[in-house]
Amino acid sequence: MTTNLARPAALLSGADMSHTRAEDGVPALTMSDGPNGLAMNLPDWSGKVPATCFPAPAALAATWDVDLVAEVAAAIGREARAAGADVLLGPSINIKRSPLGGRGFEYYSEDPFLTGRIGAAFVDGVQSAGVGACVKHFAVNSQETDRMRVSAEVSERALREIYLAAFEHVVAHAAPAMIMASYNRVNGTYVTQDRRILTDILRGEWGFDGAVVSDWGAVDDRVAALRAGLDLEMPGPGEGSLRRILAAVEDDELDASVVVEAADRLRRVATTWGARPASTPDHEEHHRLAVNAAAASVVLLSNDGVLPLAPTGGQIAVIGQLARTPHIQGGGSASAAPTRVDTPLDGLRAVLERPVGFAAGYSTDPALQESLVDEAVRVARGSDVAVVFLGPGEGSESEGYDRASLELPAAQLDLLARIREVNERTVVVLVNGGIVLTAPWSDGVAALVEGWLPGQGGGAAIAQVLTGAVNPSGRLAETIPLRLSDTPAFASFPGHGGRVFHGEGIFVGYRGYDLAEREVAFPFGHGLSYTQFAYEDVLVIDDGAQSGDPVIEFTVRNVGAVAGAEVWQVYVRPEPLTEDRPVRTLAAFGKVHLEPGASARIRSTVASRDFARWDERRDGWVVDDGTYALDIGASSRDIRTETTVRRVASGPRTVLDGRSTLREWLTDPSVGTSLVHVAQDADPSGATAGFLANPTILTMIGDLPIERLFDDPSTALGPDLLSRALQHATVHEEQNDGL
């Protein structure tokens, strides 16, 4: 039998670092990295294929613009196709649990809803260009420390609501060719060997029909991984794995059908995405798109009116080495070899018709520091505006290690303080992937601009935004806290002893700051514009007849003097709030471009699922009966209008048995009253019913598993009574249903 299996089994590991094996009639697949631009290694590993370097994924997400993200991804797809790649290893859609995560620049957001929408748009874009997308890193790969072994200890609820939700959305809405299983373990099991995650959930619940590939080197036990649902081990050639697979079948440890099915899935992916005709990408056009995307990602955090810069007037002082030697992308497998790089200094000089002075201001060589600061102060003094570019710099953010700090380098902050002393009109432009702390120094600057790791078009883009040629419309996809110690995962990141406890549960990002009522520097969803928007006339168009998807409408009006784009956001807020729900949860968003004075009527659907929480006892998505506010606004903490909708309870029934507590039995909406009712019948003395109805009993021993009361002769509680209560509740419900 193993002879027949040798061919399919050979498909289950790669041919080398980036190819699968070819078979008669089934082409080999070429895979390449590239979540912000094709990052394909040259055959001799001396570098990478030149490619358009688009804004880092963190910046792309800050556009909150799914159409633009799809356009960027399609361009990356075209470049991949042209270079001969069949599958692009991206997008990277892990949740930013802590801003210290080293791949924060490569991940989209702290919020799964936004991540899912941006991720699906990216997959759609790549696949529209004829290249399969491989969504990674599935799952809970939110840190670099010990990334190849660490166990993310996470509750089922946090797994479902936070860490799996974006993957679920992308699988359901964009049908990616592949999913990449991550290095780490989840609750003790390597994801590559976790059948529940790779098969029961991914394929069974979500209907994924593509192939699962391991992250490079993530397979610990090839046979266990295959059994769990991991089709392709990378990199190849994996001769040892092949032998182990065949031996396991021979020894009856592995069913031959598992090998055949995995090989079939890979064949399907290879037939669909392999050996498609190459295209010739237009690099000039892609560069323009890189500029547009970078401009759309810029977030204007604060502005006292100093921005936009007028084209004419006194000198503009551009300060900071990062304006001349830009930091455009993070490190690791995602980094691309840009076809060209625009610098902010050149960009500003090209668009301003006024003198532009420059000083480097800081250096990695401390010996130069004092003279660089003196020079910068000289340029800034007497200039109309000083624009200071600050950021942690090259090497600060990369795959492979977490960030050491969220602070800007001390030398840069000293420089800023000195510049501020001589020029009140000081603008700071931040150059970073994951967020940096802005408190307390940002209070003293006239404007603060988050420019991200903007890719190769960042220089031109930032010049467009600073001068108002492009009105800023980016929004934070990640909260900027006041302190590192405020971050919800602070106590347990990055864990120790091989485990990282996700003690904050679902309260990641703004969910955590809101729960703790913590002040933040800039909230999730925040971003200013050179114009202002008003929100008016909210209406519930369709309440979803209590269990469908409610539809609301509202008007967004540009009440300022210039054209601009607003990112409207809708958050679900349960009313009243119970302590186990986030205050607000993002449930819809969109971007609308408006001329001055113009308005748009926005119609927005909030999916039923976005009212639900994962219930661990009921093992499913549950909507609690009640009223839910829909908060509509310009950020998670800038709510401009609201409406409410009612939802009726839905979701799987609670499974009650002897191990369920007295409280769980008595508070169950249907079984609780039935239990008291049947107790009255079974024990006419009234002792059992009286016991159950006594509020002190509930307070004192409500948490006792009910079966521990079975031996107590003073009540009639026992298995018999419980099954009668369950039966009674069912009959009662059926009668009600019939009404």
Residues near ligand BGC (CB under 6 A): 33, 89, 136, 215-216, 333, 399
Residues 6+ apart with CB under 8 A from 517: none
C-beta of 39 vs 228, nearer to ligand BGC: 39
Q: Spell out the SS3 assignment of 613-642.
A: EEECCCCEEEECCEEEEEEEEEECCEEEEE
Minimum distance between the CB of residue 183 and ligand BGC, rounded to whole angstroms?
7
Return the closest-CA partner of residue 344 out of 419, 508, 497, 455: 455
Minimum distance between the CB of residue 560 and ligand BGC, rounded to whole angstroms?
42
What is the distance between the alpha carbons of residues 464 and 290, in angstroms, rounded to a whole number?
Answer: 13
C-beta of 333 vs 464, nearer to ligand BGC: 333
Minimum distance between the CB of residue 215 and ligand BGC, rounded to whole angstroms?
5
C-beta of 136 vs 640, nearer to ligand BGC: 136
Minimum distance between the CB of residue 109 and ligand BGC, rounded to whole angstroms?
18
**Tokens at residue 633, please?**
């606004």
C-beta of 136 vs 222, nearer to ligand BGC: 136
Residues recorded for the chain: 739
Sheet strands (E) in 433-545: 447-450, 480-481, 499-501, 520-522, 533-542
Return the closest-CA partner of residue 108 out of 386, 311, 297, 267: 297
What is the distance between the alpha carbons of residues 451 and 465, in angstroms, rounded to a whole number?
Answer: 10
Minimum distance between the CB of residue 52 and ligand BGC, rounded to whole angstroms?
19
C-beta of 218 vs 445, nearer to ligand BGC: 218
**Residue pointed to by tokens 């021979």:** 250
C-beta of 41 vs 532, nearer to ligand BGC: 41
- Asked if omega into 440 is within 30° of 0 (cis), the reply is yes
What is the distance between the alpha carbons of residues 345 and 317, in angstroms, rounded to a whole number?
Answer: 10
Catalytic site positions: 215
Minimum distance between the CB of residue 89 and ligand BGC, rounded to whole angstroms?
4
- Asked if omega into 596 is within 30° of 0 (cis), the reply is no
**Tokens at residue 721, please?**
């009574």
Number of neighbouring beta carbons within 10 Å of residue 134: 28
404-407 CB contacts, 8 Å cutoff, 24+ apart: 405/484, 406/99, 406/100, 406/434, 406/435, 406/436, 406/437, 406/484, 407/436, 407/437
In what side-by-side order are the strands of the sheet with 533-542?
Answer: 533-542, 551-558, 599-605
SS3 category, 306: coil
C-beta of 136 vs 420, nearer to ligand BGC: 136
